[in-house]
């Protein structure tokens, strides 16, 4: 009988570094009086985002439950209760995400700052990276400027057919079935991301409103969203929002997500009514950000694959 691969994916030194990283993170937030919290991993609701797939299980063979893909909605319920600034280090789960930078089970750091604008949180993330990775001060660029600089195309004004023709180089079938955001995400991941954040962290701001997710739209230009992403050495490390607080618009976005999922014949997940009720109660003005801990460790150790920083990767979990 063939023996199972039982040994850890990561070295002892890497796991010791992970433990030290958690201590540094907790010290960072303790100094800033940000409360560490814990929220459930299981939820009655799945992630409606068409680009993310939730794992599901059964409770007593009757009730469908989902492993969370992010602690975001539960943490916002704490914010709506008045808990103030909070953070969490937690395992999250995303079906089908396997590769050099992806493991279906991974560790996320997420934090929320009431009364912070987007730029306030960008500054704090920058300070965090300077402490953890010893980086220099981050450089900022808008989403539109980024595309114009690297591929000489305006992401919002260019004809869709031009974007579809561009992504043919990625050897995709039926590119003319792709919408604008799908084309932009392919171009960003294939032709732009590998070049970002090598000399200093790069933060991309003002994403298209169609990619707002749970962020507010820009009040000056509703075609843009108050969303940002940090890149270091070509790796997307953090995704942040000036958070949407309008329960009506949030429900509409969830419902639009489900309509998109249905169009693409993707599984339909229940909307998180607990979260929407919390928004009805009132979510304070706030900004939040999610950061991949495993990717942080990959940068710290110069690992070439995520399995190198995990006790056991999905291959031998």
Give the pLDDT of residue 173. 81
Domains and CATH numbers, the chain: 12-135+273-316 (3.30.930.10)
pTM of the model as a whole: 0.94
Give the pLDDT of residue 2. 64
Instruction: Give the CA count within 13 Å in the CB-facing half-sphere of 263.
Output: 10
- CA–CA separation, 94 vs 92, rounded Å? 7
Whether the Cβ atoms of residue 175 and residue 192 lie closer than 8 Å to each other: no
Residue 153: partners with Cβ closer than 8 Å, 6 or more residues away: 147, 162, 163, 166
Query: Considering only CA atoms, which of 138, 127, 106, 137 is closest in space to residue 297?
Result: 106
Q: Dihedral through CA 260, CA 266, CA 268, CA 274, nearest 10?
A: -70
Give the pLDDT of residue 176. 87
Per-residue pLDDT of the chain (317 residues; tens, 9 = 90+): 567 789 999 999 999 999 999 999 999 999 999 999 999 999 999 999 999 999 999 988 788 999 999 999 999 999 999 999 999 999 999 998 899 999 999 999 999 999 999 999 999 999 999 999 999 999 999 999 999 999 999 999 999 999 999 999 998 888 888 999 999 999 999 999 999 999 999 999 999 999 999 999 999 999 999 999 999 999 999 999 999 999 999 999 999 999 999 998 999 999 999 999 999 999 999 999 999 999 999 999 999 999 999 999 999 99
Neighbours of 274 (CB within 10 A): 13
**85-107 exposure pattern, b = at least 16 Cβ within 10 A, e = fewer:** bbbbbbebbbeebeeebebbbbb
Whether the Cβ atoms of residue 204 and residue 146 lie closer than 8 Å to each other: yes
Joined tokens for residue 312: 């056991």
Distances (CA, A) of 186 to 163, 180, 257, 313: 10, 10, 19, 26
Scanning the structure block, which residue is given the tokens 């492993």? 67
């Amino acid at each position: 009988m063939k023996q199972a691969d039982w040994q850890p994916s990561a070295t002892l030194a890497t796991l010791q570094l992970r433990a030290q990283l958690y201590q540094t993170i907790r010290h960072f937030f303790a100094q800033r009086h940000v409360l560490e919290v814990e929220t459930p991993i299981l939820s009655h609701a799945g992630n409606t985002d068409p680009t993310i797939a939730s794992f599901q299980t059964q409770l007593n063979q009757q009730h469908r439950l989902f492993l969370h893909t992010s602690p975001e909605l539960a943490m916002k319920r704490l914010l709506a209760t008045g808990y103030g600034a909070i953070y969490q280090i937690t395992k999250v789960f995303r079906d089908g995400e396997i590769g050099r930078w992806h493991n279906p089970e991974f560790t996320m750091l997420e934090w929320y700052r009431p009364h912070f604008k987007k730029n306030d949180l960008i500054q704090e993330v920058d300070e965090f990276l300077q402490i953890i990775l010893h980086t220099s001060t981050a450089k900022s660029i808008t989403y539109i400027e980024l595309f114009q600089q690297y591929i000489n195309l305006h992401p919002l004004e260019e004809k869709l057919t031009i974007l579809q023709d561009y992504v043919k180089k990625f050897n995709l079938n039926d590119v003319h079935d792709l919408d604008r955001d799908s084309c932009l995400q392919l171009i960003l991941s294939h032709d732009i991301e590998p070049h970002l954040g090598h000399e200093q962290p790069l933060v991309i701001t003002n994403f298209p409103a169609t990619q707002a997710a749970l962020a507010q739209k820009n009040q000056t230009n509703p075609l843009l969203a108050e969303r940002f992403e940090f890149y270091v050495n070509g790796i997307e490390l953090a995704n942040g929002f000036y958070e949407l607080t309008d329960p009506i618009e949030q429900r509409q976005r969830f419902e639009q997500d489900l309509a998109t999922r249905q169009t693409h014949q993707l599984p339909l997940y229940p909307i998180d009514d607990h979260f929407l009720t919390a928004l009805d109660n009132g979510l304070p003005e706030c900004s939040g950000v999610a950061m991949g801990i495993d990717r942080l460790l990959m940068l710290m150790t110069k690992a070439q694959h995520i399995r190198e920083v995990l006790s056991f990767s999905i291959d031998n979990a």
